[in-house]
Amino acid sequence: MREERVPQMRKILLLPFCLSQSSLAVIERLAAESGYAVVVARSTAKALAEVRRHVGPGSGEPARIVGVVCDGRAKKVWAGLVLLKIRQWGKKALGFKARRIELARVGIVGGTKALFGRRSCRVGFNLADEEGLRRALAGGETFMRL
């Protein structure tokens, strides 16, 4: 009897640079316990480049990405995810292999809401929603599967 190898899911946690140092330490410990690679980036483009580096091109392994973002940034990233989803559909339509991607989002708490849903950013003092983060790292809070 032949056994099929189930690909290992790559797990990546994207963190913004504006979180407090104490919050970063707690989050990195939680991520390590759950088997996540932690990426702290100053911009969305750098974060996506790091994700590509961790996942590896052409491997076909499924990926789970958990991002800690404020509401305003989440709306901007959502538009990029729609384009990614269209790309995945196009690959499948052309008969190419497409990687399964699961996305989860955790909000930033504290601060006051500013224009367009963003929070007034106090770099070094922002905190992530720890309960939401625990649920997302455990596999819950998935809002999109590509």
Burial class from Cβ neighbours inside 10 Å (0-12, 13-18, 19+) for residue 97 reads: exposed
Average of per-residue pLDDT across 126-140: 86
Is the pLDDT at 4 greater than 60? The verdict is no
Record the pTM.
0.76
Reduced DSSP (H G I as helix, E B as strand, rest coil) percent helix, strand, coil of the chain, to 5: 40, 25, 35
pLDDT attached to residue 29: 92
- The domain segmentation of the chain, as residue ranges, is 9-51+62-69+103-146
Per-residue model confidence as pLDDT tens digits over 80-124 = 777 777 887 888 899 888 778 888 888 887 655 666 555 556 667
